[in-house]
A and B are shown apart, each in its own frame.
Chain A
Amino acid sequence: MLDQQSLPSSFQFSLRDADIERRKIIVDLAAEDISRITALKDVIAQEGDRYTDDFFRYLRDLGEAPALFGRRDAFAEAKRRKREHLTALTNGVYDQAYVEQRAALALLYSRYGLETRAFLGAFHHLLRALGGDIMKCFPDDPNGAFQRFMSLKKVVFFDIGIIADVLMSERERTISQQQDAIRELSTPVLQLRDGLLILPIIGMIDSQRAKQLTDDLLRAIRANRARMVVMDITGVAAVDSKVANHLIQTVAAARLMGSTVIITGLSADVAQALVALGVDLGKITTTADLQGGLEEAERLLGYRVVRLAEAPGRLSA
């Protein structure tokens, strides 16, 4: 049995009743469909295990989601839930609980790396098996059998809609988390000495990252009581007027807090280009290289770097 800790408790894919009704309308699921579907209950129930095994064998043979098949408890959990799905499919009740049941399995799929396209392939394979068996059950009434199958397909597509949405939103969540982690790593604010912070920035700066940078820096200024900050942008990929304006805003906010920011790593070429674009660099102090910036900062803080006379060498011939 899969331990509860593996499924993030913060995950919640719940649909409002209005959304559920809307999705039913979208697949055109009506009362007569439901009565046809519930009539198939026994047909499906008999072969439930076979359908479940077939579904997963199809995926395995394709080589999809190896992580799922590698973990015995995860695989058992998935099969159990799939089996429950098949039973609920023909119950005729498609409510919050039904939706949550599908969402939970979809989350499991996502956790073990099942791609949407692979899921759709296996589901289609299952659908064909269901279709074939239904036709066999009503040999004297092929039209009736087909009608029943078409009604069942509506619920199947209702399911696919839910599962696909869950897989997609999980994927988005992962990407967003990864982006946050990267952002986290690339905004180290370092205290060089009392009252002096260095903020080396690396990579691309978009609006969201710029806001994050400003937030982090301003809080660091308060926490470290920094009167000076050297912000090095040598590693910033592209400095356009938007980025420049973000930087100017950061400098202005830091100054309101009583801290002076020196921007280093802004080459003369880029500076000229920015000025030509109408960016007012007059409000910020810049030096071309980090070393120069640090020296200026230390000077302004009142530090003086003095070189000691060389000590006599201990290693003598």
Chain B
Amino acid sequence: MAIPILKQADVLIASLQADPTDNDLIQLRDELADRIGRLRSIGVVIDVSALDVMDSFATRTLRGIAQTTRLRGADTVIVGIQPDVAFAMVQLGLTLDGIVTALDLEEGCARLRKYADDEASRGS
């Protein structure tokens, strides 16, 4: 079951459905890597609000996506980690350090745009 990727202006939005398989996540990583380059997006917002469990594999994969995105000159924001999931992740020791998180899609897109603006204003 492929994970849908939407394009909203210069931002790509991927909404994970409940219980993605390992393959789904790997496919997502490759798709995003491809599209960011082609569509010149400023970043990706990954919505995980439908996930009721975030284990070490999911976390590693998301981290991998963020790194790949960075290499293509774009940013990643993970949004929608649920309270129970956040608590379990902390207990498990999964920190998502270095990855930007936000509450929801709206916040996530706003954050991406802010980063892009900051970078632009820093000048070329």
Contact = CB atoms under 8 A, between A and B. Distances in A.
Direct A–B touching in the complex (beta carbon < 8 Å)?
yes
Interface of A: 214-215, 218-219, 221-222, 225-227, 249, 252-259
A242 B79 CA distance: 30
B60 to A, nearest CB: 15
B52 interface: no
Most chain-B Cβ atoms within 10 A of its Cβ — which of A214, A227, A252? A252
A257 B81 contact: yes
Given A214-B87, A222-B83, A249-B90, A256 B107 contact: no
A258 B90 contact: no
B103 A215 contact: no
B83 A219 contact: yes
Interface in B72-107: 79, 81-83, 86-87, 89-91, 95-96, 101-104, 107
Contacts of A218: 83, 86-87
Contacts of B101: 255-258
28 contacts: A215-B83, A215-B87, A222-B82, A222-B83, A225-B103, A226-B103, A227-B103, A249-B90, A249-B91, A252-B95, A253-B83, A253-B89, A253-B90, A254-B86, A256-B81, A256-B86, A256-B89, A256-B90, A256-B95, A256-B96, A257-B81, A257-B86, A257-B101, A258-B81, A258-B101, A258-B107, A258-B108, A259-B103
Contacts, number: 51
B86 A253 contact: yes
A215 B89 CA distance: 14
A257 B79 CA distance: 7
A225 B79 CA distance: 12
Nearest to A220: B83
Across the A-B interface, give the 10 residue pairs with the lowest CB-CB distance, nearest first.
A218-B83, A258-B102, A253-B86, A256-B86, A258-B103, A258-B101, A253-B90, A252-B90, A256-B81, A249-B90
Nearest to A254: B86
A315 B55 CA distance: 67
Contacts of A257: 81-83, 86, 101, 103
A257 B102 CA distance: 6
Nearest to A224: B103
Contacts of A227: 103, 107
Nearest to A248: B90
Given A227-B107, A253-B87, A257-B101, 8 more contacts: A218-B87, A253-B90, A255-B101, A257-B83, A257-B86, A257-B103, A258-B102, A258-B108
Contacts of A256: 81, 86, 89-90, 95-96, 101
A246 to B, nearest CB: 11
Nearest to A215: B83
Contacts of B81: 256-258
